[in-house]
Amino acid sequence: SSILEIHLATLFSSVELSYTIPDGAMTNDWKWVLRSSPATRPITRYLPMETASASNGEMQPRIFSGTRAMLSVSGGDGGLIDSDSTQADFGTGFALSTNIFGKNQVQVGGTVGEAIGSAPGAIALAAIYTRSDMGGFGEAPEVTLTMTQLGGMGPQLPGTGTIGNTGFGSGTSVRAMSISMYEVADPLSGVHLEYGMTGESVDYLQHTARISPFARLTLDLGSPGEVIAAYSDGGRPDELSAHQQYQAAAETGTLDNDLIDTVNTLARLSQLSNHNGHLELQRTESYELGYRKTVRLRTYAVSAFYEDVSNGRLNVAGGLQALNPGDLLSDGISTTSTYNIGNYQRSGYIASVNQKLTDTIDLALAYGRMGGFTPSGASPGNWDTPGKFLDEGNHNVAAANLQVRMPVSGTRLSASYGWVDSGVVIPRHVFTTQNTYVAPGLNIDLRQPLPSFFGMPGHLELTANLRNLLSQGYLPFNTGDSRPLLIVQTPRAIRGGLNFIF
């Protein structure tokens, strides 16, 4: 402390001023004075954290990310009709998948097949666009665009396996284009809605088009299970089937290649047939209801359907003289031709159980009844009318499917065996309320990864697809000719390929 003393008693007064020297340390009183002073108070404000994109331009999303590509070479012994796909006997293809600005998934692919004679080859292009952020009612729609050119298809000459000169023969091709929109929404808790529409246009001499809406509603009831209802009108609901398989692969952990969607899209073949010499597209109005419940590693499912088919199709081979040539469609190389059987209605059901035996082995069993065709007692002279030689009725079907994934070698094997009543042909129905399809005969799909050579990036993959390996489901009809007419449930087809994935 400082002391000031003043003495004024005499003329010569004295003034004395004394003070203490600070010891170098500030007292607590002075500290609080400085802290409370507005001039020296520190500024402390809470500000939101700056985003990486605002502080550093290099942290913005890259234009392209997650890019994957595949080049493939494949071949087989079946034509377009035998394989029911756009894949020719020998061809090459590519597929590319990338993400643009982190939100836009784009997949592009194409195939080029060997030409038949002087006709143009089989060419297909496809593009799939998906945006990841949310839309107004649900997620932004997925858009799929496909363009296909098929050469060498056309009406079949009576009693032969060749194409007429007025048909789809030399220099003439079938051109098809389709665009699909697929969208999802979750309007309520436990309610999942999938819906969309596909537009198809096919040109050859005349123009044929169709619009095919589809929808699927899933009600999640919790522990009781799920109830699924599906509707489609027109073509096959390929988008519903593709997303159903994608979801099943994601649940089982078998989803390892995002290029498979593009490959499957490229393989789609329009449901073409001839009716009185005019190109037609099969139209199917389908109603389906299903139930599914998962208990630990086992999934139970049951589905029932009703469908009304216009311009239905069957595969035929052998002696075709008794059939109207205007209702036959051939590609000039397949062992079978497509025959238009007109209109029919049918219903059916199927029940299945899927057991996950181990982390790498799944086993599924299925049984059901559905509409099919058997030989009628009509004489061959009346067979020129579509479907006159066929009787409709419900028949038994069963199937067993085994899926194996080998972790060390990376081998993926899918083997199935489908059984139907003897002497019966059952048209294909693709269930959209469960992952079960009864494919007649023995069917094997194999994928075997291989290491790359010479230090190249990526890896190689061998593929094999064997359909109806035992040639079952060939239904003979006696036409009085030296060769019987055969109604073919599923043509035997063997196909293999080599993929380079990087």
Query: Which tokens in the block code for residue 96?
Result: 């590319």
Nearest CA to 168 out of 338, 346, 332 is that of 332
Whole-number pLDDT of residue 166: 42
* Segment 169-198 mean pLDDT: 86
Does residue 167 register a pLDDT over 50?
no
Does residue 309 register a pLDDT over 90?
yes
Percentage, residues of the chain above pLDDT 70: 75
Does residue 352 register a pLDDT over 70?
yes
Q: Which residue is listed with tokens 């784009």?
A: 106
HSE toward the beta carbon, residue 198, CA cutoff 13 A: 22
Q: Which of 128-142, 359-373, 459-473 has the highest mean pLDDT?
A: 359-373
* More confident of the two residues 311 and 262: 311
Whole-number pLDDT of residue 205: 76
Distance between CA atoms of 28 and 35, rounded to whole angstroms?
10
Whole-number pLDDT of residue 456: 76
DSSP of 442-484: EEEEEEEEE--STT-SSEEEEEEEEESTT---EEEE--SSSS-
Banded pLDDT at 168 (limits 50, 70, 90): very low
pLDDT tens sequence across 391-424: 889 999 999 999 999 988 889 999 999 999 888 9
DSSP of 319-359: --TTS-GGGEEE-SSSSSEEEEEEEEEEEEEEEEEEEE-SS
- Domains of the chain, by residue range, sit at 183-501
pTM for the complete prediction? 0.80
- When the pLDDT of each residue in the chain is averaged and rounded to a whole number, the result is 81
Does residue 212 register a pLDDT over 60?
yes
